[in-house]
Amino acid sequence: MAILTGTFTSVWDNGTVSTNCTLDTDTGKLSPETAEIVPNDLGSLLEEIFTDGVEDYQVCPICHEYIMKTVINPDGVGIGLTEGLECSSHCSDSDDSYDSPEPVIEREINKYLCCSTGHMSKEDSEKLRGEPFSHHSYEFGDFIYVNSDEECFKDQIKEYTDAGFSKDFINLIKMTRDNGCVFLQLDCDGPVYDDLPTYDW
Ligand SMILES: [Zn+2]
């Protein structure tokens, strides 16, 4: 770890303010010796610089606590690299990120199979709405939970069969499971598949 000793200078419309400061070159963190006392007639802040007498470092305009470092990024069209400056502590990144544990914990991510509501008959839709068939209705359709446990899945199919759901509906449920999904989504804007029967109602 290297600590540089130098001066932190803030440049204002009507003057500059300087204080002794150290820079940790590993982290980019600045530690001013005294809290900056800024007279209120200086106008607006133009820039802040740390200098060790050899090199000038630009200070992050957002957190004011870290120097900016040079980063190399691919350019927008993907044919070259552009050089940019970013805060050593990535302070402005925090808005679109969230606290994530280290090491990263693997999350369980599940899939659902999506199809048009047109693949469900009126009769099946009405049956689904009766107890005890678990489903979640939303503005544009339904989500139907499909059990991932093998025994529970067999029970689920038996319940549908016993209640008189159509073979087509039960096929949709089986297809959902065969595709490794835990939900069947029937959505009014969902895809219509050529290989599945459709219902007009
Ligand atoms: Zn910053």
Which of 125, 107, 136 is CA-nearest to residue 169? 125
Per-chain residues with Cβ under 5 A from ion ligand 1: 60, 62-63, 66, 87, 91
Backbone phi, then psi, for 96, in 5-degree steps?
-110, 20
Sequence ranges of the domains in the chain: 3-92, 112-187
Please tell me the distance between residue 86's alpha carbon and the centre of ligand 1 in angstroms: 8
**Strand arrangement of the beta sheet that strand 3-12 belongs to:** 29-32, 15-24, 3-12, 45-51, 56-58
Q: Do residues 156 and 129 make contact, with C-beta atoms less than 8 angstroms apart?
A: no
If you measure from the C-alpha of residue 65 to the centroid of ligand 1, how many angstroms do you get, rounded to a whole number? 6
pLDDT in tens, 33-64: 877 667 778 888 899 999 999 999 999 988 99
pLDDT tens readout for residues 132-191: 788 899 999 999 999 999 999 999 999 999 999 999 999 999 999 999 999 999 999 999
Give the pLDDT mean for 68-89.
80
Centre of ligand 1 from the C-alpha of residue 166, in Å: 61
